[in-house]
Structure 1
Amino acid sequence: MNDPLVLFGFGTTPLELLGFVLAVGTVLFNITQLHWAWLLSILSSAIYGVVFYDARLYGDMALQLVFIAVSVWGWKQWLSGVPSTAESLPVTRLDRNSGWLAVGGWLLGFGLLWWFLSHYTDTDVPMADGFLTAGSLLGQVLLSRKKLENWVVWIIVDVLYVALYVHKHLMLTAVLYAVFVAMAMIGLRAWSMDGKDRRMVLE
């Protein structure tokens, strides 16, 4: 059912390939702020949970479960919009205090996950898995609130994920995350322009 196959010279599996397609669709929909991105995120997260379990990337596996829960919440956030108005949730930036809080949360999550993965799993990359899992959680929360900085977090995380997945011989997923880097840059530019347009309207 999930037997290995070769696609364009890359070793992969049907599950990894399906997760790849759904994940690309998720980011495309996020860039255009189409709320159906959250449904694709739920489906791709469930599939990648299985893929990462097989690769002994337990932090990433658990992260997919969190992604599913956060995606349900994010979907609601995008649909509910601004309280007491009919507007959709706007793109905004973190203020300085929120920015430092986000960085602190990333480092704290990294430390806790690194410790847990080192002591309670057989992963061979606890530091990388912990750091990137914590960063991905931060990126997902910021995305759910349509914070512009979510794309900056994703660029950092996705660049490092490329190296990790090459190390774990998940070559198709490494290619996927290289594509994510480019898409995150496009998303950062698109959302920056959206924010400028909104400020011009307000002025």
Structure 2
Amino acid sequence: MNETLNLLGLSTTPLELLSFVLSIATVWLNIRQNHWAWLFAILSSALYGVVFFQAKLYGDMGLQLVFITVSVWGWYQWLHGDDTHARLPVTQLAWRGRAAAALGWLAGFAALAWFLMTFTDTDVPFADGFLTAGSLVGQLLLSRKKLENWHVWIIVDVLYVALYVHKGLMLTALLYGLFVAMAAIGLLAWRKSMLAEQRASEAMVLR
């Protein structure tokens, strides 16, 4: 699974290619709010953990392990996560929630960058730490169906394209370029869903 392939002029491996396909399926299902997205997320995270280990992106490798854990929790949240244990609706963060997410991102960045510089041989500790922390914030917001998760993913995915080009993971760089477009689509789709749910709730109250 580690032999080099040439796909449309891009150098890749069968492992990276399989991870690519599973990741596309995951985001497509997330946009559609289909809970089976979490199964694909678990599988793609496990495979990408190996890909990132081989590329010495240890922050991203460790993040995949966290993603697997969060995906199990997120799967439950999407199915039984609101106050009535019914299907979780799309909602927005209040300003305090946004501030907490931003502070969590910065704190995670500081801790991860220090860890990567101190205990690993990565050559990109700051980029790896910043994007790993941001990805974790995005995943947690996604698990609770917060609209802002798509804002986080757009920022993170744009920066990841540059990082993966730098590391020679060209197929993964292309994947994250597609993720930027898919995150924009997801943002619009989830906002439409949220507004529709709000109108339905208001109509029920008026009755």
Q: TM-score, normalised by structure 2?
A: 0.96
Map 1:140-151; keep pairs closer than 5 Å: 140-151=139-150
Q: Structure 2: where are the runs of 5+ without partners?
A: 203-207
Deviation at 1:200, TM superposition (A): 1.1
Map 1:1-203; keep pairs closer than 5 Å: 1-85=1-85, 87-203=86-202
2:205 aligns to what? none
Report the RMSD for the aligned CA atoms in angstroms: 0.7
Moved over 6 A (4+): none
My pick for the range that moved more, 76-85 or 99-108, is 76-85
- Work out the CA distance in 2 between the residues paired with 1:81 and 1:66: 20
Q: Structure 1: where are the runs of 5+ without partners?
A: none
SS of 2:168 mapped into structure 1: coil
Deviation at 1:47, TM superposition (A): 0.3
- Work out the CA distance in 2 between the residues paired with 1:62 and 1:102: 20
SS of 2:146 mapped into structure 1: coil
- Work out the CA distance in 2 between the residues paired with 1:84 and 1:124: 48
Deviation at 1:202, TM superposition (A): 1.6
- Work out the CA distance in 1 between the residues paired with 2:84 and 2:33: 21
One-letter amino acid of the structure 2 residue matched with residue 72 of structure 1? V
My pick for the range that moved more, 181-190 or 191-200, is 191-200
SS of 2:50 mapped into structure 1: helix
My pick for the range that moved more, 72-81 or 145-154, is 72-81
- Work out the CA distance in 1 between the residues paired with 2:155 and 2:109: 14
Q: TM-score, normalised by structure 1?
A: 0.98
- Work out the CA distance in 2 between the residues paired with 1:96 and 1:75: 26
- Work out the CA distance in 2 between the residues paired with 1:29 and 1:166: 26
Deviation at 1:190, TM superposition (A): 0.2
Count residues with an aligned counterpart.
202
Deviation at 1:79, TM superposition (A): 1.3
- Work out the CA distance in 1 between the residues paired with 2:118 and 2:140: 27
